[in-house]
Chains A and B, each alone.
Chain A
Amino acid sequence: MFDPIMEQILSIARDAWAFMAGLLIVVALLGGLYYILQGTAGMAFGGSRMTSMAIIGVVGLIIIVLFAFLFLPQLGEMLKSFQPKPPF
């Protein structure tokens, strides 16, 4: 009875997922570019702290993106395996 509605909702959710995943990649790339700019500027005028902060920022950004793309699908699989049958 609810299958057609579910199909519609899941189709919208899939589109939203693809859009947000794309947006996440764009934001991560922009952030990476910003940190690279910061790092090169730091290197150019001898700002070692600025460079090291930029390197840490890039590594952190990579960790965040990897966490998003590896953790969330696993979370979905876990919730799917926990999906309960109607308790009534």
Chain B
Amino acid sequence: MSEISALLLTFLREAWVALAGAFIAFALLAGIAQMLRVSSASVLGANLWVWESISALISIVVLGLFAFLGIPQIVSALQSTLPGAGGCGPISELGTLASGLIGGLAALRMLKAAFITMFSASIGGASSFANALIESGEALFGMILASAAIPLAAWFLGTC
């Protein structure tokens, strides 16, 4: 069970590194797309476009900081609340596997939400920061539920 857990977590870690790298690339593309919009709007004299692009640029910076500074802290904090090994025997191993996987999947889901928002900004769409926050909140709520469900399952299935 521990080998399977290690294999899955390695896979998820590699996905995290790849997603974080792609996130930086798309953040820069989103930035230059918004700068292009600012320059063309200022030449045209479209004040509203200029302010929209400037606020989108600020939201790109905030989203980048949230993704790289906020998400790891949230995941670390929530992972410490997940009970790793409740009981003994197979239920203990299952608990360890589940808590590791839940943490990894939630972290990836939060980063994916931030990445999709950044991707939409890079192709000139609205930088929907709210969507990333909602999806992060869902992942966070799922982790909180799991932290309650794992001990309950251990208790229901019988522990030593």
Contact = CB atoms under 8 A, between A and B. Distances in A.
Interface of A: 1-3, 5-6, 9-10, 13, 16-17, 20-21, 23-24, 27-28, 30-31, 34-35, 57, 60-61, 64-65, 67-68, 71-73, 75-76, 79-80, 82-88
A74 to B, nearest CB: 11
A35 B42 CA distance: 11
B17 to A, nearest CB: 7
- Chain A contact surface mostly: helix
B18 A79 contact: no
A62 to B, nearest CB: 10
A34 B31 CA distance: 25
A68 B32 contact: yes
A72 B103 contact: no
A72 B76 contact: no
Contacts of A79: 23-24, 27, 64, 68
Contact of A27 (B12, B21, B39, B71): B39
A17 B39 contact: no
A85 B72 CA distance: 8
Contacts of B71: 84, 87
A34 B42 CA distance: 12
B100 A88 contact: yes
A86 B68 CA distance: 10
A20 B33 contact: yes
B48 interface: no
